[in-house]
Amino acid sequence: EPEVTQTPSHQVTQMGQEVILRCVPISNHLYFYWYRQILGQKVEFLVSFYNNEISEKSEIFDDQFSVERPDGSNFTLKIRSTKLEDSAMYFCAGGLRQQETQYFGPGTRLLVL
């Protein structure tokens, strides 16, 4: 069964450094998302991506964040200058149709020191 993959599984970085989180969604999916989950809290929406552009972003997704899908396969989330409060688990998700099932990747645990 196809699944979403994410790399790295863990990332430790210094405050102010740039990080790129990578995701390979399921190949026939059309809608893509990034969510984050601070330890012990709920899953929060960051951004949705469709037809090679951002379709919606949350208040969390400020100018330090960007996403791209450069080659039709990888879907990346970049944080330009990390802050301590960016420490969280970041999940990539995808779906075939909006408002229906989303398939989540295993996540990248980001720790900003």
Partner 1 sequence: GQQVMQIPQYQHVQEGEDFTTYCNSSTTLSNIQWYKQRPGGHPVFLIQLVKSGEVKKQKRLTFQFGEAKKNSSLHITATQTTDVGTYFCAHPGGSSNTGKLIFGQGTTLQVKP
List interacting residues with partner 1 (CB under 8 A).
31, 33, 35, 41-45, 48, 50, 55-56, 58, 91, 93, 95, 97-107
Smaller CB distance to partner 1: residue 15 or 30?
Answer: 30
Tokens representing 94 are 């995808």
Residue whose tokens read 């779906």: 95
Residue whose tokens read 């970041």: 90
Smaller CB distance to partner 1: residue 80 or 109?
Answer: 109
- Least distance CB 56 / partner 1 (angstroms): 4
Q: Which of 59, 47, 55 is nearest to 23 (CA)?
A: 47
